[in-house]
Amino acid sequence: MTKNTETLIEFAGRELGELEPLSFEQYLELLRQKPAGQLRSAAAYLLDTFDYFGSSTMETPTGKTRRFALFDAEFAGGLGKVAGQEQAQQAIYRLLNNFAREGRTTRLILLHGPNGSAKTSIIRAIAQAVEHYATTDEGRMYAFRWIFPAERVARGQIGFSEGGKATSAPSGNESYAHLPASEIEAVLECDCRDHPLLLLPRKLRLKLVEEFKSEDKLAGDFMLPHYLDRGDLCAKCRRIFDSLLASYGGDFGQVLRHVQVLRIYPSLRYRRCMATVEPQMHVDAGEQQVTASRSLASLPPSIAHLALFEFHGPLVDANRGMLEFNDMLKRPVDTFKYLLSTCETGQVALARSTLFVDTVFIASTNELLLDAFKEYPDFVSFKGRLELVRVPYLRKVSEEVEIYRSQFPPSRLGKHLAPHTFDLAALWAVLTRLKKPQAAGFEGELKQVVERLTPIDLAWLYDRGQTPPKLSSQLSRELLASLPKLYRQQGPQYEGRMGASAREVQMILMNAAQQPDRKCVSPLGLFEEVESLLQDKSLYAFLQQQPDGDYQNHPKLLDYVRDYYLDLLEEEAADAMGLVTEKDYL
């Protein structure tokens, strides 16, 4: 075995060593060391994930904005990066902050916007960051399961028969958590991954918090999250707990011997503390009896006689984490009415029991479905439990370019990429999304300037802070000062609601790469594909809009892009020859 192989195995051993189970007493010691990290709600955990990766304040032509580093996905090599969308990021962060302060998630976060505007990408980026954060020391999260020792270890306790030679297994009040597999008869998982602290009576939980406050381990105004304050074990764990307590004659310490605490790692892929609900026609949680299963025949009689039910479904899988409803409003409204009470109480009523959940609910939908939902008779009831976060198409060329550069490495296109191709594709996409500015909120000469802004003027104003040519310095300053107001103009038909999506532009680029008569992917091939797309208005809603001057006039918008490309070629040729262009005098 080589030294490198030994080092690799040693490293893997250290990593896997963190999976070593704890007894309940060991977990309490860990809790005493860092109580704040273990007494978090799901919303606080997500909030800490945002804070762990940090943020930065950016000065842009449209004003100051805060960007959270988790959306850059540097920890994943940039895979899953979300370009732009800082306003949506900040809105989600504010809501998580509110939920964390309240101690529970009281509303569902609904990301709405046109198709292909990165709603799902935002949710995936958060999930990916949570998965990474959970591997750090700050992101430790624990759950528990029940351990039932072999007959020779239990020596007649909890319903096992007498007999069998005792081994060197735990005695007295020592935990069964560290028993070797050969001495374990049965293991029962907690399907809901309940917090280990829920094993303690509520009075003891509150007493612990007060102790931590008196020792300055928690802030004086710290409030225990609703899930840990008012919550309880899932029905299966509660029945096991109560049965064990009765079997041991009320000896609480003996019950805790059966508890094994494990570190858990949230995972969207394995539906561990995170899950996705696709549009479908059934409830998102269920239960089925498990004690009838032959695989659990080795349970002690005092437990085997119980009618234990196994909980399943996305709502169960996502407990203590985040549940995503993908294209939520494609489902019949009645299938998610339960969220009205679940968001308010943190409980889900099933046929035979009630689940206590601690989950951040986040969903996505497009604008057409949201408009239809607003006409629904019960929308007012839902609105009280919804927080709408707008996710429009990007309106800055430099941000749009980032998408294509990350999505199209040289190997994917299969051909050489000519200069400026991505920039021109991004410019065309942004131009299709811009709306004629509302000049009513401006006065004097500035109002006239706003009215005269062309789509290309507005695009460079948003992206570069570049004012139109031949504008006086005074008006340029006034226009730049009013740019944040111009950029944030609201309304149901907001800017960025319609236009070419990044998906459609990616399709155009892929088609341009397939042109057999061209040796590279060039702006000329791009223009040909855009012209071809403009011929089929029935497939693309943004082509069916009525032009407003040059805005939404798609043949004219393509001309703007062509003219800009010719200007670029002229400037580059002049630079190469050391000549001065007309623009240099402006």
Beta pairing partners, 65: 58
Tokens of 485: 């107001």
Q: Tens of pLDDT along 340-393?
A: 888 878 888 777 778 888 999 999 999 999 999 988 888 888 888 899 999 999
Sequence-ordered strand ranges (E) for 161-258: 184-189
Tokens of 297: 């025949």
Smallest Cα–Cα separation from 515: which of 414, 422, 420, 426? 414
Question: How far is the C-alpha of 191 from the C-alpha of 316, rounded, in Å?
Answer: 7
Residue 546 lies in a domain: yes
| Position 152 pLDDT exceeds 50 | yes
| Lowest model confidence (mean pLDDT) among 39-43, 210-214, 445-449 | 445-449
Q: What is the mean pLDDT of residues 36-40?
A: 93
% of the chain surpassing 90 pLDDT: 46
Q: What sign results for the dihedral spanned by CA atoms 6, 12, 13, 14?
A: positive
Structural contact between residues 192 and 321, judged by C-beta atoms closer than 8 angstroms: no
Q: Tens of pLDDT along 388-421?
A: 999 999 999 999 999 998 888 777 777 788 889 9
Higher pLDDT, 205 or 154: 205
User: CA dist 326 to 92, 119, 378, Å?
Assistant: 17, 9, 21
Structural contact between residues 348 and 355, judged by C-beta atoms closer than 8 angstroms: yes
Residue 160 lies in a domain: no
Question: How far is the C-alpha of 503 from the C-alpha of 509, rounded, in Å?
Answer: 10
Number of C-beta neighbours around residue 290 at 10 A: 17
Beta pairing partners, 186: 148
Backbone dihedral angles phi then psi of residue 260, each to the nearest 5 degrees: -120, 120
Write down the pLDDT at residue 296.
58
Longest Cα–Cα distance in the chain: 101
Higher pLDDT, 512 or 203: 203
Write down the pLDDT at residue 413.
73
Strands 347-349, 354-356: pairing is antiparallel
Question: How far is the C-alpha of 480 from the C-alpha of 216, rounded, in Å?
Answer: 50
pLDDT category at 304 given cuts 50, 70, 90 is low
Structural contact between residues 172 and 203, judged by C-beta atoms closer than 8 angstroms: no
The SS3 assignment for 40 reads coil
Residue 414 lies in a domain: yes
Residue 327 lies in a domain: no
pLDDT category at 163 given cuts 50, 70, 90 is very low
Write down the pLDDT at residue 418.
85
pLDDT category at 126 given cuts 50, 70, 90 is very high
Number of domains present in the structure of the chain: 1
Helices 421-433, 397-407: axis angle to 10 degrees equals: 130
Burial of 153 (0-12, 13-18, 19+ CB in 10 A): buried
Backbone dihedral angles phi then psi of residue 207, each to the nearest 5 degrees: -65, -40
Residue 17 lies in a domain: no
| Lowest model confidence (mean pLDDT) among 21-30, 33-42, 330-339, 384-393 | 330-339
Number of C-beta neighbours around residue 99 at 10 A: 23
Q: Tens of pLDDT along 248-276?
A: 999 999 999 999 999 999 999 999 999 99
Average pLDDT score, the chain = 85
Question: How far is the C-alpha of 76 from the C-alpha of 406, rounded, in Å?
Answer: 13
| Position 169 pLDDT exceeds 50 | no
DSSP result, 145-161: EEEEE-HHHHTTGGGPP
pLDDT category at 578 given cuts 50, 70, 90 is confident
% of the chain surpassing 70 pLDDT: 87
| Position 166 pLDDT exceeds 90 | no
Write down the pLDDT at residue 365.
93
Smallest Cα–Cα separation from 551: which of 462, 467, 430, 420? 430
Beta pairing partners, 271: none
Question: How far is the C-alpha of 262 from the C-alpha of 275, rounded, in Å?
Answer: 20
Q: What is the mean pLDDT of residues 67-90?
A: 92
| Position 283 pLDDT exceeds 90 | no
> Which range has highest mean pLDDT (171-175, 299-303, 392-396, 516-520)?
392-396
* pTM, to two decimals: 0.88
- Gyration radius of the chain's alpha carbons: 30
User: CA dist 239 to 24, 109, 353, Å?
Assistant: 19, 34, 11
Tokens of 334: 């009645």
Smallest Cα–Cα separation from 386: which of 334, 320, 331, 328? 328
Question: How far is the C-alpha of 427 from the C-alpha of 567, rounded, in Å?
Answer: 14
| Position 584 pLDDT exceeds 90 | no
| Lowest model confidence (mean pLDDT) among 7-21, 197-211, 302-316 | 7-21
Write down the pLDDT at residue 35.
93
Q: Tens of pLDDT along 469-525?
A: 888 889 889 888 888 888 887 777 888 999 999 999 999 988 888 877 778 888 988
Question: How far is the C-alpha of 519 from the C-alpha of 523, rounded, in Å?
Answer: 12
Question: Which residues lie closer than 8 Å to 22 by C-beta, 6 or more apart?
Answer: 30, 142, 177, 260, 261, 262
Smallest Cα–Cα separation from 428: which of 462, 397, 466? 397
Higher pLDDT, 161 or 238: 238
Write down the pLDDT at residue 257.
93
| Position 161 pLDDT exceeds 50 | no
Q: What is the mean pLDDT of residues 284-311?
A: 61
Question: How far is the C-alpha of 99 from the C-alpha of 412, rounded, in Å?
Answer: 42
| Position 183 pLDDT exceeds 50 | yes
Domain that holds residue 515: 397-585
pLDDT category at 14 given cuts 50, 70, 90 is very low
Structural contact between residues 110 and 95, judged by C-beta atoms closer than 8 angstroms: no
| Position 6 pLDDT exceeds 60 | no
Q: Which helix (H) or strand (E) holds 288?
A: strand 286-289
| Position 9 pLDDT exceeds 80 | no
Residue 562 lies in a domain: yes
User: b vs e for 66-88, b when ≥16 Cβ sit within 10 Å of the residue's Cβ?
Assistant: ebbebbbbebeeeebbbbbbbbb
Question: Which residues lie closer than 8 Å to 21 by C-beta, 6 or more apart?
Answer: 177, 178, 260, 261, 262
Residue 165 lies in a domain: no
Beta pairing partners, 109: 362, 387
| Position 557 pLDDT exceeds 80 | yes
